Amino acid sequence: MFSLKTFLLCESASVQRLFSTSTLPVFTLFTKDPCSLCDEAKEELEPFKHRFVLQQVDISLPENRVWWDRYRWDIPVFHLNGKFVMKHRVDVPLLDRLLRDAETQQT
């Protein structure tokens, strides 16, 4: 029998990855608060959310100083599986192509 906590954990994308037959790519959003462009980007990512695991990195936190030094003037910045793919705005056609390529590589 599952506890409520276990059930809620199973609803998270990272745990769903563990139970799926293929692993979803990790899409990292480098952000800070406030960031209106980041908020817009999150909205644009909504239709794709079932195709990747979204990892958000708040560059203003002390432990993320290296990302602050690198990206403070460029957020939002996006990485796919640890590699830079775009900045400032979501390039929807590019994102779709990159995700299709990642999905093809998994099969």
> Could you write out the DSSP letters of every residue in 53-71?
EEEEEETTSGGGHHHHHHH
pLDDT digits (tens, 9 = 90+) for 46-102: 999 999 999 999 999 999 999 999 999 999 999 999 999 999 999 999 999 999 999
Residue 26, token pair as written in the block: 């990790």
> Which class would CATH give 16-106?
alpha beta
Entry pTM? 0.77
Q: 38 and 32 in contact (C-beta within 8 Å)?
A: yes
pLDDT digits (tens, 9 = 90+) for 5-62: 333 333 444 444 444 546 899 999 999 999 999 999 999 999 999 999 999 999 999 9
Which is nearest to 90 in space by CA: 103, 105, 75?
75
| pLDDT for the residue numbered 62 | 97
Spell out the alpha helix ranges (H) of 20-91. 36-45, 65-71
82: left (phi over 0), alpha (psi -120 to 50) or beta: left
